[in-house]
Structure formats: structure tokens, C-alpha cells
Amino acid sequence: MFYNNKNKSRKNFFICFILSVFIMGSFSYVNINKTNLFSKDKVQEAAKFSSKIEIKNKKNPNKKVSKASILAVGDIMVYNSQLNAQYNASTKSYDFKNNFKYVKKYIEKADYSMANLETTLTGNDIYKYSSYPKFNSPDELADALKYAGFDLISTANNHAYDKGDLSIKNTLYTLKKNNLDVIGTRQNYKDKKFIIKKINNINIGITSFTFGEIKNDNLYLNDSQVSNNYKNKINIFNDNNVDSAFESINSTLNKMSDADLKVVYLHWGNKYHLNENDFQQQLSQKLCNAGIDIIIGSHPHVIQPVTTIKSSDNNHETIVAYSLGNFLSNQRREDFSMYDEDGLIINIDISKNHKDNKTTITKVCCIPTWLNKYYNNQTSKYIFEIIPLDKTFDLNKASHLDKNKAKKSYEHTSSQIKTSDLISISKNPFK
């Protein structure tokens, strides 16, 4: 019995030993593989994290490339018929907002929008509201410009001094009160002749200049002698001498060294001429050679060519819009020129590569406009509406629109645009 029990015990011991070894081995195997699995997970997780970093970098808010768009239009003027049309007798006030209702979305869409104000906002206390030849418009016009989406107003033009010193002072005050940037005139001599606006991480430098008549060290605008107090507070060039004009403008451009891109509004050219004159060509070339990026023209009241020019050494290219025509006015074909109802919105896309600090113009889109004017029998007043001649705009929305005149306007304006890989015109809405 004893012997048998001993053998049985030995057998049981042996079986237990074998089982123990097996269990311990299995447990070790599981642990080994568990460790390997954790390692794999860690690698996978690290890979996922790294991938997330890469994706984040691709959408980097620190911006390897920044983009912005700027928009410009031509002359904004107010004649007597417009004063009558926009006056509300019950409130004894003016409202110009309806003039812009169809173009508002285009102006607002751009990151920064600009216009030339070819009238003064002098007030109605000392001087009455007036039209050509000495303009003075209601302050409500500034309200409408802000409502339309404009950010900057150029005040350097031949009508800037139509009502004397007060026209400069009050116009500046009224525009700035509406949170509009202003270039071209200034209240204090020491104020800069330019503005540098940071738009989406791109520094855009903008200035504006107008032609002026200089006689015996006296300055004249629209046949009015500018007082000594203000003659150095208006950005002016002498249009009798290209070299002198260039030096006046370039001295300001040289101070815009922090700008990634430089824009200048120039009030120049011959009224109602469909092509630029020699002075405009020569001055543009000099400015291009000096590195200006964009030239926006006003004063002719008709569309002049939109094109590109190259510097003499072929190392620089400049966008030149010799004249954007009338944006808002009562100049009609029956009274002035066949084409002074035509205007142009020019939208310019800009890109800055922060890696090499290079800023380029990537696209220039031109949108023709036509000023629709019709008589409202209910109000016994004329209605003025700026119509965008663009495929994306439903022309049927515009009341009493003479589509034949609008079509001719589009066709003429499009003929003035020198289209290229860079410059385009909005699709014909009449097709």
C-alpha cells in the first residue's frame, strides 16, 4: 500500500510539475505577446499623432501662404438731379443707400474696397448743397458708402477744394466718423500721405494723388487757389511735367517700405477720352520701373484700358487701370459722352508666400457696371441704381432696365479690358 501510494504520489507530483511548467510557459507567452501588442499600439498611436500634426500643418493658421482681395471703383459724384432724387421731404434728410443695393454684395465680398469721392462733404450751414462746377454733397452720402461696404475713400481729385478750407476739413471728419479710411487729403501736415493696411497678414500700402495747377508757387484746384493752410495737405502732382510728377509720387512710395504690395490712385487723364494720353503712359512706366504694383485711374469719367505693363528691365509687372469711369453720377450719354454711364469694378486677388516673403497678384477680375436711371411715377422722382453686368446677377431683378443700353455698355467696357491669363472680365449676362 505504501509502495503504491508513493508511486501514485510521484506520479501526481510529476503531472503537477508538467502542468506547472506548461501554465508558466503559457503565462509567459501571453505576457510576451501582450508586451508586443502594447508596443505596436504605441507605434500606431505615435503614427496617428504624427499624421495629425502633418494635417494640422497643412491647414496651418500660421499661414505659409496668405491671401487677400482688394476692390476698386471709379468716380462717385452727386448732381442736382441726384440731390432731388435722394431727398426725403418728410424727414428732411437724404438717403443714397438704394443707389448701391445691387452692387453691395460685390463690394462687401472683397477684403478691402476703395472708391474715389469726387465731391466734398462740406455741410449745409455755410455752403449749400451744390453740383457742378463746385460740388458739395450731404453727409448721408458717407453713410451710404459705408453701408455699401467700402473701406477706403480717396479724396485727392480736382474737386477736393471746391468749397475752400472747410471742404477738406469737414469731408475728412465726416468720412472718418463713418469709420472709413481716407487717403489723398489730410488735416495735419505731419500726417502720412499714405496708409498701410494689414489685410489677412499682407501689408498693403495705398496712396492717392491728383493733378493740380501750380503757378508761381501757388496751387490751384478747379480754378480755386488753395490757401497756404491747405496747399501742403493735398497729395498733388504737376501734370505739366512727367519727371516732376513722378518725383512727387515716388517720394511717398519710398516711405511705404513696410508694404508687401503698393497701390496708387491717380486722378489724371483727359475727360471723355477713351484712351490714355502720353502723360499717363509715361508716368505709369516710371512708376512701374520704381516697383509700383497697382495703378487705379480716375477723372476721365469713361472707361480707359485695363492692362499690364512691364518694367524696362522686365523684372516687374504693374496692373494699370487708366480709368474706371463713373460709378455713381448723373452724367448721361445725352448730355456728356456716349460712355459716361459706364463704370467698372476691379477685383484683385493677392497672395503672399511667407516662406520666401514674396507677394504676387494672382487674379484680376473686371465687372462692368451701368448706371440705370428711370422715373418713378409713384414718387415723382428719378431712381438711380448701379447695375452689375455680371452673369451671376439676375438682370430681371432691376426695375425698368433698358437691356439694350446695358448690353451696349457691357460690350464697350469689355473691349477696353486687355484680357490675359491674369486679367479677366465677368461673363456676358446677355448670352
Q: What is the pLDDT of residues 288-307, one digit of tens each?
A: 999 999 999 999 999 999 99
Residue 407 is predicted with a pLDDT of 97
* Separation in Å, CA 86 to CA 81, 99, 122, 281, 409: 9, 9, 18, 39, 25
Q: Is 275 exposed, middle or buried (0-12, 13-18, 19+ CB in 10 A)?
A: middle
Q: Is 196 helix (H, G, I), strand (E, B) or coil?
A: strand
Q: What is the pTM of this model?
A: 0.85
pLDDT band per the 50, 70, 90 thresholds, residue 399: confident
- Considering only CA atoms, which of 399, 403, 378 is closest in space to residue 102? 399
C-alpha cell at 279: 502723360
pLDDT surpassing 50 at residue 245: yes
The length of the chain is 431
Average pLDDT over residues 194-202: 97
H helical segments located in 178-277? 242-253
The string of pLDDT tens digits covering residues 155-189 is: 999 999 999 999 999 999 999 999 999 999 999 98
pLDDT value of residue 336:
75
Nearest by Cα to 425 from 366, 343, 370: 366
Task: Report whether pLDDT(11) > 80.
Answer: no
The pLDDT value recorded for residue 215 is 84
3 state DSSP class of 278: helix
* The pLDDT of residue 62: 57
143-163: pLDDT as tens digits: 999 999 999 999 999 999 999
Predicted local distance difference test score (pLDDT) of residue 32: 36
Tell me, what's the pLDDT at 63?
Answer: 61
